[in-house]
Amino acid sequence: MEHFFELPVLYKGEDLLLKGRLVTFAYSYKFFVVVDGRELTFERDDERAFRVLSDAGEDGMGIDKELVKQIIAALDKI
């Protein structure tokens, strides 16, 4: 099941409103957030902290790590 939402993120003093979706599976869920035209996947790890998944074969995501941290902080609030 999918649920679409907008995620408010404060990044470098600017308020961003990122499009996202929540996808639920049998006993888990993932957040997909669009950043600069790319959809990043966020899920909780074994310690219940969010992590971002990148496509296989990518060296770096090309997205500012501070922005990823701010997205994770915003996801933690919901």
Please state the domain extents for the chain. Answer: 2-77
The two tokens of residue 52 are 């971002």
Average pLDDT of the residues in 30-58: 87
User: What share of residues in the chain are helix, strand, coil (percent, to 5)?
Assistant: 15, 50, 35
For residue 65, which phi and psi values (nearest 5 degrees)?
A: -65, -30
Q: What pLDDT is attached to residue 69?
A: 95
Q: Is the pLDDT of residue 1 over 90?
A: no
Q: How confident is the model at residue 61 (pLDDT cuts 50, 70, 90)?
A: low
Q: What pLDDT is attached to residue 26?
A: 87
Average pLDDT of the residues in 32-45: 94
Q: Is 44 or 59 the better-scoring residue by pLDDT?
A: 44
pTM: 0.86
Q: What pLDDT is attached to residue 73?
A: 97
